[in-house]
Amino acid sequence: MSLKAEDVMNKNVIYVELPGRRREVLEIFKKYGISAVPIVKNGKIAGIITRKDILRKIDEDQIALLMTPDPVTVRYDEPIEKVVEIFVSTPFRRLPVVKDDRLVGIITIRDLIAKIAEMNIDKEVRSYIKPNVVCVWEETPLNIVGEIMRLSNSELCPVLNSQAMLCGIIDEKIMLTETLIEEFIEQTHYSSSSDTDDSWTWDSIRDFTVKYFEVSVVKLPKKPVKNYMKGPTYVYPYTSVSKCAKEMIKKDIDLMPVLDVENRLAGLVYDKDLIKVLME
């Protein structure tokens, strides 16, 4: 029997009700380690708000003005192939699930990857490898890594040591932490309320580089990326799709580095490509 949205969705939806303020959303992001939350009014989906929405409107406090209204949704009985089709053809990484216009769940790409991990699919990942990879050296300052990722539109960068071997990974999740968001909001409000250049402001400019992540603004330290990266994670071209999915879940990453037979970096497998196996 074909899978449906309700077979994969998370039924215990964390949401925020209207009306509300930014602080409620930030507290939920921090408490649950998530990056987006549905907004509900009278039991019906009214919008969705992400960390980037907050950074886009740094001076706004009302959830109703921060959220993206009328988000794309899927029905609880929608075939999983339709859900995958929406994900691979849009920039969305999560979809609210509705029944009779009421929010009953949420389905993410991570949920689909977790389902693939359970299915024991033997197909090899070689079909999903993308060879064009932007890498950084382990001694590269984090603020420079952020700029490299911005300019190359990279969500994840493998980190190489002096022997050109994979020694870690750095991804957007590490850059866009809740702590950085809160610090930036506080710094912005502090700076805008002062007409003078004091030592606090000068130290902030000196010690941090202010950079742009898409439309998001965060401050990144100048210490080497090796101080912040995750440990090396990888698969081989002959690794099965399900095993790759298991490693993605275990390591909490959306892109998986692939090594060749000589343990050189061969490319990346994107979660959005891997879920296509559910349409095959």
**Cβ–Cβ < 8 Å for 245, 235:** no
Q: Is residue 266 over pLDDT 50?
A: yes
d(CA 178, CA 75): 31
Q: Is residue 214 over pLDDT 50?
A: no
- Is there a shared CATH topology between the 5-115 domain and the 119-280 domain? yes
pLDDT digits (tens, 9 = 90+) for 182-196: 555 555 554 443 333
pLDDT digits (tens, 9 = 90+) for 100-109: 888 899 999 9
**Banded model confidence at residue 152, pLDDT cuts 50, 70, 90:** confident
pTM above 0.85, yes or no: no
Question: What's the longest Cα–Cα distance across the chain?
Answer: 67
CA distances from 100 to 74, 105, 160, 161, 238 (A): 11, 12, 51, 54, 44
Q: Is residue 210 over pLDDT 70?
A: no
Q: Is residue 211 over pLDDT 60?
A: no
Q: Is residue 112 over pLDDT 60?
A: yes
**Cβ–Cβ < 8 Å for 252, 171:** no
Q: At the topology level of CATH, where does 119-280 sit?
A: CBS-domain (3.10.580)
Token pair for residue 42? Answer: 């009278």
pLDDT digits (tens, 9 = 90+) for 20-76: 888 888 888 888 877 788 999 988 888 999 877 877 777 788 988 889 888 899 999
Q: Is residue 147 over pLDDT 70?
A: yes
Place of tokens 């994670």: 233
- Give the residue extent of every domain in the chain: 5-115, 119-280
Average model confidence (pLDDT) across the chain: 82
Q: Does domain 5-115 have CATH number 1.10.150.130?
A: no
Task: Indicate the DSSP class of residue 197.
Answer: -
Query: Average pLDDT, stretch 126-149?
Result: 92
Q: Does residue 19 have a cis bond before it (omega within 30 degrees)?
A: yes
